[in-house]
Amino acid sequence: MQKQFEKKELKKKSDNLSDWYTDVILKAQLADYAPIKGCMVIRPYGFALWEGIQHYMDPLIKAHKVENAYFPLFIPEKFLNLEKEHVEGFAPHMAVVTFAGGEELKERLVVRPTSETIMYEMYKRWTQSYRDLPIRINQWNNIVRWEKRTYLFLRTSEFLWQEGHCAHNTHKESVSEVRWALDMYKETYQNLLALYGVAGVKSESEKFAGAKKTYTFEMLMPDGKALQGCTSHDLGQNFAKAFHWTVQDEKGQPLYPWQNSWGFSTRSIGGLIMAHGDDQGLIMPPNIAPIQVILIPIPGSSPKTIKYAIAQREALKKIGIRVKCDDKDGESAGFKFNKWEVRGVPIRLEIGDKEAEEGIVTAVARDTMQKKKVSIDEISGMLETIQQNLLETHKKFTLDHTHTVESYDHFKKIMAGERGFISAFWCEDASCETKIKAETKASNRCLPLDLPAGRQVPKEEKGTCVHCGKPATHRWLFAQAY
Ligand SMILES: [Zn+2]
């Protein structure tokens, strides 16, 4: 069992990102392959990351007056069939229950691929008047979208997420909430997961099935491919109309409620792993790290030193630091160092007789691997520095690999080489977008929305489409996507 932590066995990130990614997830015990095709088991260390995300995000959702609830896992297929685009989008990935309780079911039940339809059917029953709106509900649950190949955290048939679903009397209120969700996700990525990215709006062909508009947060991974971090959708009145859901407005006239939905999944953990780790293993941003400090008494230390180490652990606990002391017998110091490096613990504290005598600790920061003697009071500051450094490093990487491109030759050259984000004028014609993807593998990620406060639409510019040369008004972001 011990062998799996030996550093020499971990595949190198610098050799092959994809091989390293799977290897580090298995060796750090974040997750494992399930004995069901397309599925994974999230192990305790990996699940602690999801709990950390819930712990951070749930209060933000509640502060926005969105309440948590739970809806069934099974959705009558006829509900999904009500919204044509919606069912077309999800059909290829649907798992359907046709047999249960020892007999053929009269009604086919879809294992939820998303909950719009089952939730709106209930919203319709619960509301009569405009006074019953807004209705704001979130659920933390699991989702099934059938996949033939498993890519741990990034592509699995079942995954965990939160899905928020709100309905309003006006489009304006609904859209403002969609943008709020996008900002909340961005904040979570930056502050908690130390991941930089670009918030934007999806093109018509890349938007959610059944939505009027889809907003996204796109991040660049070390191999120059983009990861869609989350989405929030302005559903307009599409679903309300499909479900014949109306409430009476102020004048007693029927009003179709304006809806939105927004989701953030365990896929985010895939981005976290991929972006921050190195050849030695994971690097956990301190704010999300299940263990922020690992304290290792050097084997063979005196009982007095062990006592000192325990006192340091208690002092750290007292100031709210998530700390663990690894005093397991039968493992060398080097073995323990490797074990916790693979798991990406932000700070390692080494305590031997010398440290105990001097009343200090030897600290090693996981991101820089720099070693220094410090007092226990300095640990909080070190954690903050690591958090900031990781975000800054990812931001710099993203900006360094964002290319402003004027010609299609240049576009193709970048995609054939180091890849990255490509900012280019596009005519907004879907056929052009399809051709670009077929020829370069780069799909349209979004129209970036990093705008001054209050502005909803990016300013128009004068340009020509990078592919067909027709007039274009905005630079869109392209990249090969996960
Ligand atoms: Zn074009």
- Inform me whether the pLDDT recorded for 241 exceeds 90: yes
Give the pair of three-digit tokens for residue 277. Answer: 């780790």
At 255, give phi and psi (nearest 5°): -130, 130
- Looking at residue 85, its pLDDT comes to 79
Q: How far is the CA of 419 from the centre of ligand 1 (A)?
A: 21
Q: How far is the CA of 410 from the centre of ligand 1 (A)?
A: 16
Q: How far is the CA of 421 from the centre of ligand 1 (A)?
A: 18
Reduce the DSSP state of residue 416 to 3 states and report it. helix
Q: How far is the CA of 432 from the centre of ligand 1 (A)?
A: 5
Q: How far is the CA of 464 from the centre of ligand 1 (A)?
A: 8
- Inform me whether the pLDDT recorded for 182 exceeds 60: yes
Q: How far is the CA of 433 from the centre of ligand 1 (A)?
A: 7
Q: Please state whether the predicted TM-score (pTM) of the whole model is above 0.85.
A: yes
Question: Are the C-beta atoms of 415 and 440 separated by less than 8 Å?
Answer: yes
pLDDT, tens only, 105-151: 999 999 999 999 999 999 999 999 999 999 999 999 999 999 888 89
Q: How far apart are CA 221 and CA 218, in angstroms?
A: 10
- Looking at residue 91, its pLDDT comes to 87
Q: How far is the CA of 482 from the centre of ligand 1 (A)?
A: 24
- Looking at residue 1, its pLDDT comes to 45
Q: How far is the CA of 339 from the centre of ligand 1 (A)?
A: 52
Q: How far is the CA of 448 from the centre of ligand 1 (A)?
A: 18
Q: How far is the CA of 412 from the centre of ligand 1 (A)?
A: 15
Q: How far is the CA of 235 from the centre of ligand 1 (A)?
A: 27
Q: Domain 400-479, what fold?
A: Translation Initiation Factor IF3 (3.30.110)
Listed as own residue / partner, the contacts of 323-332 with beta carbons closer than 8 Å and 24 or more positions apart are: 323/291, 323/292, 323/293, 323/294, 323/295, 324/291, 324/293, 324/294, 324/295, 325/294, 325/295, 325/296, 325/297, 326/294, 326/295, 326/296, 327/297, 331/2, 331/299, 332/299
- Inform me whether the pLDDT recorded for 3 exceeds 90: no
Q: How far is the CA of 425 from the centre of ligand 1 (A)?
A: 8
Instruction: Read off the pLDDT of each residue in 409-417 and give the average, rounded to a whole number.
Output: 97
Instruction: Read off the pLDDT of each residue in 78-83 and give the average, rounded to a whole number.
Output: 87
Q: How far is the CA of 148 from the centre of ligand 1 (A)?
A: 33
Q: How far is the CA of 145 from the centre of ligand 1 (A)?
A: 32
Q: Which residues contact 252 (CB under 8 A, 6 or more apart)?
A: none
Q: How far is the CA of 206 from the centre of ligand 1 (A)?
A: 16
CATH 3.30.110.30 placement within the chain: 400-479
Q: How far is the CA of 478 from the centre of ligand 1 (A)?
A: 13
How much of the chain is helix, strand and coil, in % rounded to 5?
40, 25, 35
Reduce the DSSP state of residue 35 to 3 states and report it. coil
Instruction: Read off the pLDDT of each residue in 181-202 and give the average, rounded to a whole number.
Output: 96
Q: How far is the CA of 407 from the centre of ligand 1 (A)?
A: 12
Q: How far is the CA of 399 from the centre of ligand 1 (A)?
A: 25
Question: Are the C-beta atoms of 21 and 256 separated by less than 8 Å?
Answer: no
- Inform me whether the pLDDT recorded for 216 exceeds 80: yes
Per CATH, domain 293-382 is 3.40.50.800:
yes
CATH 3.40.50.800 placement within the chain: 293-382
Report whether the peptide linkage leading into residue 286 is cis, meaning its omega lies within 30 degrees of zero.
no
Q: How far is the CA of 444 from the centre of ligand 1 (A)?
A: 12
- Looking at residue 408, its pLDDT comes to 97
- Inform me whether the pLDDT recorded for 8 exceeds 70: no
- Looking at residue 55, its pLDDT comes to 98
Instruction: Read off the pLDDT of each residue in 396-410 and give the average, rounded to a whole number.
Output: 96
Q: How far apart are CA 91 and CA 131, in angstroms?
A: 36
pLDDT, tens only, 414-441: 999 999 999 999 999 999 999 999 999 9
Q: How far is the CA of 215 from the centre of ligand 1 (A)?
A: 22
CATH 3.30.930.10 placement within the chain: 9-276
Q: How far is the CA of 97 from the centre of ligand 1 (A)?
A: 43
pLDDT, tens only, 159-169: 999 999 999 99
pLDDT, tens only, 325-361: 998 889 999 999 999 999 999 999 999 999 999 999 9
Round the average pLDDT of the chain to a whole number and report it: 94
Confidence band of 396 (pLDDT split at 50, 70, 90): very high
Q: How far is the CA of 436 from the centre of ligand 1 (A)?
A: 9
| One-character DSSP codes across 234-297 | EEETHHHHHTT--EE-TTS-EEPPEEEEEEEETHHHHHHHHHH-BTTB----TTT-S-SEEEEE
- Inform me whether the pLDDT recorded for 7 exceeds 70: no
Q: How far is the CA of 41 from the centre of ligand 1 (A)?
A: 44
- Inform me whether the pLDDT recorded for 451 exceeds 60: no
pLDDT, tens only, 298-308: 998 999 999 99
Q: Which CATH class is domain 9-276?
A: alpha beta
